[in-house]
């Protein structure tokens, strides 16, 4: 295969992998399989492509999965690191997580 075509094919396959990984994470999150969602969204999407086209959505969805398994501190850090247009909503959600943690700690 000529180098130009090989490069194009390599980029296309890379994009397809990124798409598939993100959407598998979104589907597993929707199905309530939070550990699998964390694996797809955090390790396989964010760690592999921290500035990729799915990074913002993966960050928010990974935070939801972490919150669902009781790791609110990790979820809060992900939400506070959000710099996307959704960042204002992410900050509100992070503040809600902090408030919920404080309420849990203060209840007998």
The CATH number covering residue 58 comes to 1.25.40.10
Contact by Cβ (8 Å): 74, 65: no
Contact by Cβ (8 Å): 81, 66: no
Low-confidence ranges of the chain (pLDDT < 50): none
Read off the DSSP letter of residue 56.
H
Burial of 7 from C-beta contacts in 10 A (0-12 / 13-18 / 19+)? exposed
Average pLDDT over the chain reads: 93
Q: Range of 74's domain?
A: 3-106
What is the pLDDT, as a whole number, of residue 104? 79
What is the pLDDT, as a whole number, of residue 16? 95
Rg (Cα) of the chain, in Å, rounded?
17
Tally of domains within the chain: 1
CA distance 64 to 34: 9
């Amino acid at each position: 295969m000529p180098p130009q075509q090989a490069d194009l094919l390599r980029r296309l396959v890379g994009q397809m992998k990124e798409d598939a990984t993100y959407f598998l994470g979104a589907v597993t999150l929707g199905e309530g399989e939070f550990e699998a969602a964390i694996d797809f969204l955090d390790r396989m999407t964010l760690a592999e492509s921290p500035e990729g086209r799915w990074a913002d959505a993966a960050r928010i969805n990974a935070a939801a999965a972490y919150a669902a398994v009781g790791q609110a501190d990790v979820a809060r850090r992900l939400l506070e690191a959000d710099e996307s247009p959704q960042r204002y909503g992410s900050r509100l959600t992070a503040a809600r997580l902090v408030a919920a943690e404080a309420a849990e700690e203060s209840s007998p």
